[in-house]
A and B are shown apart, each in its own frame.
Chain A
Amino acid sequence: MTAGSAGRTPGLRLDLEVPCGSFDLAIAWETEQSALGLFGASGAGKSSVLEALAGIRRGARGRIEVAGRTWLDSGRGVALAPEARGVGYVPQEAALFPHRDVLGNLRFGERRARRAGQVHRRLQPEPVLELLELTPLAHRPVTALSGGERQRVALGRALCSAPALLLLDEPLAGLDLALRRRILPYLLRIREEFGIPTLHVSHDPSETTLLCREVCVLDAGRVVACGPPRAIFGAHRLLTGSAGNSVPEMVNVLEGRVATVAESLATIEIEPGLCIAVADEGHFVSGQRIAFEVRASDILLARGPATGLSAQNILPAMVREVHLPESGDLHAAAVVNALLGRQEQAIAVVVSRRACRELALAPGVPVHLVFKAQACRLLAAY
């Protein structure tokens, strides 16, 4: 059957070469996870990988295996046609059919699900319109939509097709912060409710950390790292390594439940007994699950008692690792990995080398993490 059933792990096996402009992209990646990320700066070749997976990229060579099915094996002359792969592809430019209205575009996807006998009640056009808050736009021509609306329609069309693999190309790029906060929960919900294996292309570390269980980092057509996003984005070499312009900012993504809301502060319980104060802009509700990010450079480290500070978050932690930059690199800061709470959440902190020396930071040293409630940026509430 062309479309896979929801909830199945994809078992993605890639060994691909794709000519793309100035370089030949090469990616080898094997994973059993189903929430996957492809991370890298623009021009790293991420979109080319998606196109090769969708079967619409000419010149892709190598092997693609998804959930045990071979999609491409150029050595044996196997190349499954795009219509036989059953992917839900959401390209950056949305590529909506201009001769159909919003509902018509979703129905276009739905027909594949019907033919394949993959009819899920919640993946029908009506509930999907509802889920993506598109119901009032159902009969609008797609040429009259805003960028964010087009993205959601493209996502809806892909969902309605009950895909074996969802390919999302920067679904949040080009959207403003408010819209990102609104769409991110949909993506989380898609992951959690439908369990559709998803490959999510992004250049945003927080987004990738939140949505993906495993991430593959591409730089100039080469895989530079592969693994769980928290481990990858906490790794020092990503901050100093690779091409200078493509260094991602190091962020910590935390998830938890809103415990209390008072005096423009929300208390987020990230594990039993461990709470973080987050500035409330008026959209927190008690009991809600939220995700937020704290930049590694917005956190202070204190040895000994940290008292008399206005910062609302002063949390005991333990240094796990200290990464000093190469001796020749005078401009780079040090990165300290600290463990927070009983569940030992890894938190990355950027400090200067002098501070590192003066505080004698080393593995096993107890410290306090100090940061303002204002330094916590809301990613999504769901």
Chain B
Amino acid sequence: MNDGALVALGLSAQVALCATLAILPPGIALGWLLARREVPGRALLETLTALPLVLPPTAVGYLLLRLLARDGPLGERALGFDLDLLFTWKGAVLASAVMALPLVVRTARLAFEEVDPRLESMARTLGLGPLRTFAEVTLPLARRGLAAAAVLGFTRALGEFGATVIVAGNIPGETQTLALAIFSDMQVGRDSEAMTLVAITVVLAFAALWTVELLLHRRRAR
């Protein structure tokens, strides 16, 4: 494996991990909200969180770019300071986080829907408040599904291309993740390098999906 591939792999892992950590709390919260609460505008919320799943990633990337541009709503002019996300690895984190969020929300929601609400009621009658009920009954019972949500979010972030290339660019050693490096290698005809990178992504994706399968299957069998 060459140095370039290692750098790309390290950067990808860093970006995907940060993105996963960033979306896990809001993803779990949204999943719980959609599974357990009759919130007003629920259908709208559901649609909005699912949107990145169906939009072209480049469209999402472009929206983020305009949002963060110097004269955009979150740009230097509007905020009075520069968030410094565009064309940095943090921009790649943001782009892949936005793209991975729907998957995390949906999987987390399913995980919560599988928890019997009567067990939560039972915990309440035994003296646990809503927060402790969540921590001691809901979370432990949903843990496998939530772990699956995290792994799926991580893999989605790992493979992100379209939004990342627009928000973070394709700068080797700085923002060039595995997915971007494959594209670059292919364009200049470095086929064996591209193939190495493809092999790495296949192994990573396979391991992740296998883990998810084990997590969800064992939960069903229980």
Contact = CB atoms under 8 A, between A and B. Distances in A.
Q: Do A and B bind each other?
A: yes
Interface string A48-92: 000000111000000000000000000000000111011111010
Contacts of B116: 95
Interface string B103-142: 0000000000000101101111111110000000100110
Contacts of A109: 126
A56 B222 contact: no
A186 interface: no
A83 B133 CA distance: 10
B125 A87 contact: yes
B222 A143 contact: yes
A55 B122 CA distance: 10
B119 A95 contact: yes
Given A95-B119, A97-B119, A82 B124 contact: yes
B222 A161 contact: no
A99 B141 contact: yes
Contacts of B141: 98-99
A157 interface: yes
Interface residues of A, number: 27
Interface in B194-216: none
A257 B124 CA distance: 42
A54 B124 CA distance: 9
Contacts of B129: 81, 83
Contact of B121 (A82, A85, A86, A98): A82
Nearest to A108: B126
Contacts of B127: 2, 83, 86, 111-112, 115-116, 161
B125 A97 contact: no
A93 interface: yes
Contacts of B119: 95, 97-98
B222 A91 contact: no
A98 B222 contact: yes
Contact of B124 (A81, A99, A116, A161): A81
Interface of B: 116, 118-119, 121-129, 137, 140-141, 222
Contact of A112 (B121, B126, B137, B222): B126
A87 B222 CA distance: 30
A9 to B, nearest CB: 22
Interface of A: 2, 54-56, 81-83, 85-89, 91, 93, 95, 97-99, 108-109, 111-112, 115-116, 143, 157, 161
Given A83-B126, A83-B128, 8 more contacts: A56-B124, A81-B129, A82-B124, A93-B118, A95-B116, A97-B122, A97-B137, A109-B126
B222 A82 contact: no
A268 to B, nearest CB: 40
B140 to A, nearest CB: 5
A89 B126 CA distance: 8
A82 B140 contact: no
A83 B121 CA distance: 9
Contacts, number: 56
A95 B122 contact: yes
Nearest to B122: A95
Given A98-B222, A99-B141, A83 B118 contact: no
A99 B122 CA distance: 14
Contacts of B124: 55-56, 81-83
B125 A54 contact: yes
A85 B222 contact: no
Nearest to B143: A99
B166 to A, nearest CB: 44
B104 to A, nearest CB: 23
A116 B137 CA distance: 21
B118 A95 contact: yes
Contacts of B123: 97, 108
A55 B125 contact: yes
Contacts of A116: 127
B122 A161 contact: no
Contacts of A111: 126-127
Closest 4 CB pairs of A and B: A112-B127, A82-B124, A56-B121, A95-B122
Contacts of B122: 89, 91, 95, 97
A56 B128 CA distance: 13
22 contacts: A55-B124, A55-B125, A56-B125, A81-B129, A82-B121, A82-B125, A83-B124, A83-B125, A83-B126, A83-B127, A83-B128, A83-B129, A85-B125, A87-B125, A88-B125, A89-B125, A93-B118, A95-B119, A99-B137, A99-B140, A108-B123, A161-B126
A86 B116 CA distance: 22
A108 B140 CA distance: 14
Contacts of A99: 137, 140-141
A161 B129 CA distance: 15
Contacts of B128: 83
A82 B121 CA distance: 8
A66 to B, nearest CB: 14
Nearest to B140: A99
A247 to B, nearest CB: 31
A64 to B, nearest CB: 14
